[in-house]
Structure 1
Amino acid sequence: MASQVFKNKTFSSVYHKYMIPISKETLNMVLSFVQGKRNGQPLEMAVDVGCGTGRYTIPLAPHFKKVLGIDFSKAQINLANQYNLLDNVSYMVAPAEKLPIENDSVDLLNAGLAAHFFRVDEFASEAVRVLKKKGCLAVHGLYPACDIEYKDLSHDLTVVMSEVWKILYQHADKSKDHLLCQYESIYEVIPLKDKQLFQDILGENADSVRLNVNVKHYCVLARKD
């Protein structure tokens, strides 16, 4: 299984250094959705599932009284604890499909660039269990096929990268299917009525080898009745 690579200590260090951060647009979209229909009630608890080394966990900290990051990889959690300087953020090793969290206790259950590795139906059931009334689920990622802009080589570089992705996909596991459909498949599985799917979100560009790479972000937001 491709996700097993995240348990490797060396890989985790590289992952922490080069992982693309959550875009401001996606973060603002998630926070706006969470704050809706709450009538000014404070945000107490956020849980970031598949948190890795905390790159998507830390941005939640200013907005919640307590933030818990959960990942199945001990190597990733060890690094997350190493880099954590915030009193209201903690981490725990656990699978996404069996969250060590009380029923009806979470304001936001977040999964950034991780849900495609989960057993999605089991994770969705856990989300319903742990979310408070009007609590929100946010599942978001970014599209791996990028349009490259670089001087007069934009077209050629984009074609080359498209071919590279086609070759890589031949060796990928089923998680790629969720990525390629921009999480439409995950949206369909979530058993909450109040839900929305946002695709092709314009976000910050990732700078790679001095090339302007336009990455497509997407996000599933759902609220428990």
Structure 2
Amino acid sequence: MGMNFYNDRVVLNVLGGSLDNAREVYEAAEGHVAVGVLTADYPTVEAYVEDANRYMEVLEGNLSVGLGGGNPNQWRAVAEVAKYVKANHFNQAFCAVGWTRANLDGAPCHVNAMVAPSGTPGLVKVSTGPLSKDCEKPALVDADTVVAMAKEMGADSLKFFPMGGLKVADELKAVAEACGRNDFILEPTGGIDLDNFDEIMKIILDAGVPKVIPHVYSSIVDKATGNTRPEDVVTLMNKVKALV
């Protein structure tokens, strides 16, 4: 199952609340999923790496090394993990993609570049790092140029976050079209749930994006246990099969 991450047009990205939960959701998605484990949940890189190796085994490599709610302060932890764990998927702030790619030492892992909506369709905010995110004048860059820059740094995709579901649908469409034109992967993230999933995916797939990695997080997490609900993952997989 491990190769699905690289071969599929759509790969889900969901959270693994525990090792057992990661196993459950991986089986529920029939392997067509990258399961997120967040560096923010661990006190040290060493502690994360120790656990990550267990997850890697259960997930056949389809671990998504996460920041934790898009927290750019975790960029260095993710970059350090890249030295020791060759997971199939890494989440990273735009500014730290090159660092992460270098630490992977040639391993063919997928690294995204986190960018944000700007308020203007066709422009993307690239100042998503720990210092730059708070700058009074954000760096807003043409979407096609952002894709070119991301490629130069060694990124495989743009992670478009936070979307707030369909709140920035016009911006999503513009960034998806840029990814479509430039043969680049898109990872829509933030506020995606079972209700808006189809519409969000349709916008992206219609724009000709070659591969989509939708992050569906808190909306399918059981608040009491902190685990992702396997039955919701099955529902999402059925939606994906209908779309592609």
What interval of TM-score do these two structures reach, taking the shorter chain for normalisation?
0.3 to 0.5
Q: Name the structure where strand makes up a greater proportion of residues.
A: 1
Instruction: Specify the structure having the higher radius of gyration (Cα).
Output: 1
TM-score by length of 2: 0.30
User: TM-score when scaled to structure 1?
Assistant: 0.32
